[in-house]
Amino acid sequence: MYAGRIAEIGPVHEVINHSSHPYTAGLMAAIPDITIDRERLNQIDGAMPRLNAIPAGCAYNPRCPRVFDRCLVERPDLLDAGATRAACWLHDASIAARLDLAKATT
């Protein structure tokens, strides 16, 4: 959950090991790996919004490393994301197709 809304839902193993929402991926990356010696832990930049000041669009957009225009204006519902469902426009079929095309041409 993020800002009072479900960010991702699905089988625990899938959510933990194959996160589909950037927030879930950030949370999983923040878990320390005891086999690696680090001075600093990974963290998600920024801060949670106050519940009376949730931004328009996706509530995670100010902190999201993959934000794009639609995230700023339209709140996503839970979308199919493989074995999970994620409230993220990256899993909208039309967006995913454009992102795949962009990757193929770079």
Instruction: Provide the pLDDT for residue 34.
Output: 83
Instruction: Provide the pLDDT for residue 98.
Output: 66
Instruction: Provide the pLDDT for residue 103.
Output: 61
From 70, 93, 71, select the one nearest 80 (Cα to Cα). Answer: 93
From 98, 70, 83, 103, select the one nearest 24 (Cα to Cα). Answer: 83
pLDDT along the chain (106 residues), means of 10: 96 96 95 83 90 95 95 96 96 74 56
Dihedral, CA atoms, 33, 34, 37, 41, nearest 10 degrees?
40
Phi and psi for 89 in degrees, rounded to 5?
-65, -15
pTM recorded for the entire structure: 0.83
